[in-house]
Amino acid sequence: MNFSLRQIFTFREVMRSGSISQAARTVGRTQPAVSTMIATLEGELGFSLFVRDQGKLIPTPEARFFLEECETVLERIERIERTVNKIRTHEAGKLRVACHPAAAGMFMPRILTEFLQGKDELEVSLIMRSSDVIEDLIASQQFDIGFAETPKPRPSVKQMDFDLECVCIVPADDPLATAEEITPQDLDGQSMAVLFDKHPLTVRTEAAFRKSGYRFRKRLELRTWAPGLQFVAAGMCYMICDMITGYSCLQQRQTTRELAIRPFRPRISTSVSILTPGYATQSLTSKAFTTHLCEAIGNMQTELHNSL
């Protein structure tokens, strides 16, 4: 047998309406075209589907039995069409995101929340890992998107790099909270919360102080910036950190009452990257979220700069 889905669909409409002319209007074809399609289908099947009795179109018992199978097939096709449409519009599927600690607490969940609106059937896996681990997860195709400190280029990872200006976090009631900008001179010998010694930001910040001739006092050494916000709010230290941490702080209104975010000069920056597998085709959903994340990074830069 060699019949098409269009023939099956047309047959169902004839069965539903009981009329060739009404079925023709429903499927958007002429009445002769529908009659020919039904006749061709009967020839393929090897039995009659309809008989005419006093001008009425009457289904045969075989037609009623055949309709049950057609309904099953068409329901499945319609379900496939709905699924395809959801995939096309990124409303269904899976998205696996690996994120470094600075963005995992608030920034990335906030961006994912925006992206997931209206996508009830899209499943997301979000994990927090160190940047070097994220790089390996992306290279091995275990995750679709990584957001991490910029790694050295490698063929198995595609990357989009962003240079983000660092900011200084101070207590809201501190005299420096109203300064137009904060410099090493302002922080000379003051207690600082920093990341571990070999972290690139710690190295660059210490170099800026040394070049300016002022003392960089590392009082609190951290693995991530999140605890530092509490120390600064308590008046125990100051903190020069990445823009994402500063922006996350800005988004937390209850924390912002205790903290102030100010520009730091000379300019120090960190580089973060959106990572995707280099040897795999990126899914439509992954591409859409990559675009959304790029826009979010741009909006973050604009919003934070306007608030300083």
Nearest C-alpha neighbor of 141 from the set 177, 108, 96: 96
Fold held by 5-88: Arc Repressor Mutant, subunit A (1.10.10)
Query: What pLDDT shows up at residue 296?
Result: 96
pLDDT above 70 (res 257): no
Q: What is the pLDDT of residues 150-192, one digit of tens each?
A: 999 999 999 999 999 999 999 999 999 999 999 999 999 999 9
- CATH number for the domain formed by residue range(s) 167-267: 3.40.190.10
Query: What pLDDT shows up at residue 9?
Result: 92
Cβ burial of 111 (10 Å; 0-12, 13-18, 19+) is buried
Q: What is the pLDDT of residues 271-286, one digit of tens each?
A: 999 999 999 989 989 9
User: Identical fold at 92-163+271-307 and 167-267?
Assistant: yes
Q: What is the pLDDT of residues 224-254, one digit of tens each?
A: 898 999 999 999 999 999 999 999 888 775 4
Query: What pLDDT shows up at residue 120?
Result: 85
Task: Name the H helices within the chain.
Answer: 5-17, 20-27, 31-45, 61-88, 101-104, 107-116, 131-139, 200-212, 226-233, 243-251, 253-256, 284-307
Q: Structural domain boundaries of the chain?
A: 5-88, 92-163+271-307, 167-267
Residue position matching structure tokens 């059937």: 121
For 56, other C-beta atoms within 10 Å of its C-beta total 10
pTM: 0.75
Q: By 3-state DSSP, what share of the chain in percent is helix, strand and coil, each rounded to 5?
A: 50, 25, 25
Residue position matching structure tokens 């289904």: 59
- CATH number for the domain formed by residue range(s) 92-163+271-307: 3.40.190.10
